[in-house]
């Protein structure tokens, strides 16, 4: 029986998940078709109910449905419940289990691609939206020493830090970067098609030489922040590894098999390069 998985969101036309998940299934010799399940909010209950069918492995969930799916599931894992967001649904014999692999995907990308162990390190997160929440939670779980959060709208940073508890704290003003081991852009600044595609989410003048600069924005692959950091000789990590590792963790939850991460990275990079070429 051909089985199915897919991505639920609105819109999902530009999602890279179908590209690298399909490559992973093919490489692993699994007869699975990964589909784009574009779903306006009123259709969400029926879409999620359809995941209980025996030929469905599960789904990824993206904007704007990560919160909305929660009451439609049978069980939600601890991290997803704390994040208040599910990005992976697994169908086990007609019961639906919700997980959040975004934050763990970020931590895996740090470890595997930047050789950076978050335990005991000091982080500055820019932004206080859904991505910042998942990442901050995973960093606390990985025993980061400090998780400072700055956001354009300070009230949102304060609310997030209150939810998370120590050592997370909100900063009203952008601090000097010299005291941090890792800076993470979790805003949409620098994103193609976003509100400020050419902008920097913060100046880098005060960065010490050991700072790792991470931008979770993955389109374009080299954002203005990553370009500015590299020009200063700082180490950088783009957003694609996080995207791949969250998908790799989802693949493992669906199949019980190790994800072919290299195959997934290659498929995603080829597709991004194709899109960037087509846009020129």
Does the active-site annotation cover 192?
A: no
Stretch 203-222 residues interacting with ligand NAP (CB under 6 A): 216-218
Q: Does residue 156 bind ligand NAP (CB under 6 A)?
A: yes
The tokens for 10 are 């609105």
Sequence-distant (≥ 6) Cβ neighbours of residue 180 within 8 angstroms: 122, 123, 124, 146, 148, 211
Residue of closest CB approach to ligand NAP: 129
- The site string for ligand NAP over 237-276 (x = CB under 6 A, - otherwise) reads --x--xx--x------------------------------
For ligand NAP, the closer CB: 56 or 217: 217
Of 94, 99, 98, the closest CA to residue 49 belongs to 94
Please say whether the beta carbons of 187 and 178 come within 8 A: no
Closest approach of Cβ 153 to ligand NAP, in Å? 3
Q: Does residue 193 bind ligand NAP (CB under 6 A)?
A: no
Closest approach of Cβ 54 to ligand NAP, in Å? 30
What are the φ/ψ torsions at residue 251 (nearest 5 degrees)?
Answer: -55, -45
Sequence-distant (≥ 6) Cβ neighbours of residue 57 within 8 angstroms: 3, 4, 5, 32, 90, 91, 254, 255
Among 11, 67, 153, 230, interactor with ligand NAP by CB under 6 A: 153
Please say whether the beta carbons of 100 and 128 come within 8 A: no
**Total residues in contact with ligand NAP, by rule CB under 6 A:** 25
Q: Which stretch binds ligand NAP (CB under 6 A): 11-19, 27-35, 117-125, 151-159?
A: 151-159
């Amino acid at each position: 029986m051909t089985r199915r998985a897919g991505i639920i969101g609105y819109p999902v036309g530009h999602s890279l998940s179908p590209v690298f998940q399909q490559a992973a299934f093919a490489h692993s010799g699994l007869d699975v078709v990964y589909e784009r399940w574009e779903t306006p909010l009123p259709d969400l209950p029926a879409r999620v109910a359809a995941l209980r069918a025996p030929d469905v492995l599960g789904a990824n969930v993206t904007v704007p449905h990560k919160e909305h799916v929660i009451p439609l599931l049978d069980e939600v894992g601890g991290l997803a419940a704390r994040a208040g967001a599910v990005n992976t649904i697994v169908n086990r014999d007609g019961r639906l289990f919700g997980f959040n692999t975004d934050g763990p995907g970020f931590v895996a990308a740090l470890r595997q691609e930047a050789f950076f162990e978050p335990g005991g390190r000091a982080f500055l997160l820019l932004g206080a939206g859904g991505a910042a929440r998942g990442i901050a939670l995973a960093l606390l779980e990985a025993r980061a020493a400090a998780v400072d959060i700055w956001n354009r709208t300070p009230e949102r940073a304060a609310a997030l830090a209150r939810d998370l508890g120590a050592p997370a704290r909100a900063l009203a003003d952008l601090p000097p970067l010299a005291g941090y081991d890792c800076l993470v852009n979790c805003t949409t600044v620098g994103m193609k098609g976003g509100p400020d595609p050419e902008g920097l989410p913060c100046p880098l003048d005060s960065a010490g030489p050991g700072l790792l600069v991470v931008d979770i924005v993955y389109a374009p692959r080299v954002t203005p922040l990553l370009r500015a950091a590299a020009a200063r000789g700082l180490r950088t990590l783009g957003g694609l590894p996080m995207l791949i590792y969250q998908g790799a963790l989802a693949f493992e939850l669906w199949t019980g098999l190790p994800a072919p991460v290299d195959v997934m990275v290659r498929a995603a990079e080829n597709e991004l390069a194709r899109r960037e070429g087509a846009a020129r």
